[in-house]
Amino acid sequence: MMATETKEFNPDRYNLPSKIVTTTFGLKPKQDHQVFEATETARINDAHSAMYITKTQIGEDGRQKYALFDFGMDAKARNLIRWLQMHDGDLGDIEWWGLTHAHEDHVKGLRVFDEGTPVHVSEHDSHVLLGELPSEGWIPGMKDKIFKRHNAHIEGLDLIIIDDGYIENIGTLAIQALASHGHTSGHMSYLLGPGNNGKYDYVAGDSVDVRKSGKIKNAARPFSEDRRVSHQSIIDLGNFMIANGINLDNILTAHSGESDYPALIEYLMKHQGHIKV
């Protein structure tokens, strides 16, 4: 479905560099169900974005439990349900829900969860979910091919407000939320680990865009609220990793696959000119 739309979508009409459109819409994460070694985090694609799922613990019912980061654009969450079935699970085996930001392509899958499901989200983006603040960023309209604002309003959730540095241990999984503002005003990312190999994975949502070469760049235009803030968030992220001696393995994005720690350091060197120690 997405492939057809990408072909039909003409960026020139909107005076957009085609590369940006290709990166964000044409470069769907390449490998569905890829598992990232450090924390055994798996990627689940839907037609528009990727969500990430991580093991937490074996529940009292003897079943594997999971934390889920982002929810995709399919209001029936079919790919998520399929993935769970493949792993002898179902939606009831998810016990922790984290949202990177309130954009339509990341929140619609939340509709399959019961009313009162506790979803972790920043304060700013919680107001967008509740319909109290307008959604930020633009998406190409799916039918008429014109840009329209995201619609990220979802009802019936029990929102848990998190801020930079929020830490939660659930089973064997440690989750730390890090502010990565810019793409939306309240964008959050999630640092997971350390995994069995002592390394960490980082669920970056749309705060980082990865080029085909694996290089990192800041959040894509024009889907982002403030790309300069996004740029600073990446600088802050790099310095945070260095200051805390975090052995980062994978940087996992929702639209452009994954990158790694050397690419983050390269970004720092390019834009900061040095490594802060």
Q: Could you tell me how many residues of this chain bind Zn ion (CB under 5 A)? A: 5
Output 145-153 pairs: Cβ under 8 A, ≥24 positions apart. Answer: 145/8, 145/9, 145/10, 147/14, 147/222, 150/102, 150/103, 150/104, 150/105, 151/104, 152/102, 152/103, 152/104, 152/106, 152/107, 152/125, 152/128, 153/128, 153/129
Compare residues 74 and 206 and give the one whose CB is closer to Zn ion: 206
3-state helix, strand, coil split of the chain in percent (to 5) is: 30, 30, 45
Rounded to whole angstroms, the Cα distance separating 44 from 70 reads 10
Using Cβ positions, the residue closest to Zn ion within the complex turns out to be 103
Q: Which span (125-133, 160-168, 203-211, 261-269) binds Zn ion, by CB under 5 A? A: 203-211
Q: Which lies closer to Zn ion via its Cβ, residue 73 or residue 241?
A: 73
Of the two residues 49 and 54, which places its CB atom closer to Zn ion in the complex?
49
Span interacting with Zn ion, options 49-57, 79-87, 88-96, 151-159, rule CB under 5 A: 49-57
Under rule CB under 5 A, residue 225 binds Zn ion: no
Q: Interface residues for Zn ion in 247-276 (CB under 5 A)?
A: 254
By the 10 Å C-beta count (0-12 exposed, 13-18 middle, 19+ buried), 66 is classed as buried
Residue 46 binds Zn ion (CB under 5 A): no
Scan residues 105-124 and list those touching Zn ion (CB under 5 A). 105
Between CA 238 and CA 260 the distance in angstroms is 11
Residue 277: strand, helix, or coil: coil
Q: Using the rule CB under 5 A, which residue among 70, 104, 201, 206 binds Zn ion?
A: 206
Pairing type for strands 158-162 and 118-122 reads: parallel
Among residues 107 and 173, whose Cβ is nearest to Zn ion?
107
Q: Which stretch binds Zn ion (CB under 5 A): 14-22, 31-39, 41-49, 125-133?
A: 41-49
Which of 56/259 has CB closer to Zn ion? 259
Q: Does 103 bind Zn ion (CB under 5 A)?
A: yes
Task: Report the alpha-carbon angle 130-231-239, nearest 5.
Answer: 105
Ranges within 231-250 binding Zn ion (CB under 5 A): none
Give the nearer residue to Zn ion in terms of CB position, either 41 or 100. Answer: 100
Residue with tokens 């929702």: 254
The C-alpha atoms of residue 218 and residue 21 are separated, in whole angstroms, by 14
For position 136 contacting Zn ion by CB under 5 A, the verdict is: no
Nearer to Zn ion, 94 or 102 (CB): 102
What is the nearest approach in angstroms of Zn ion to the Cβ of residue 252?
A: 13
Query: Which residue type, as a one-letter code, is found at position 134?
Result: P
CB of 189 to Zn ion, least distance (A): 12
Structure tokens, 80: 């998520």
Give the footprint of Zn ion on this chain (CB under 5 A): 49, 103, 105, 206, 254
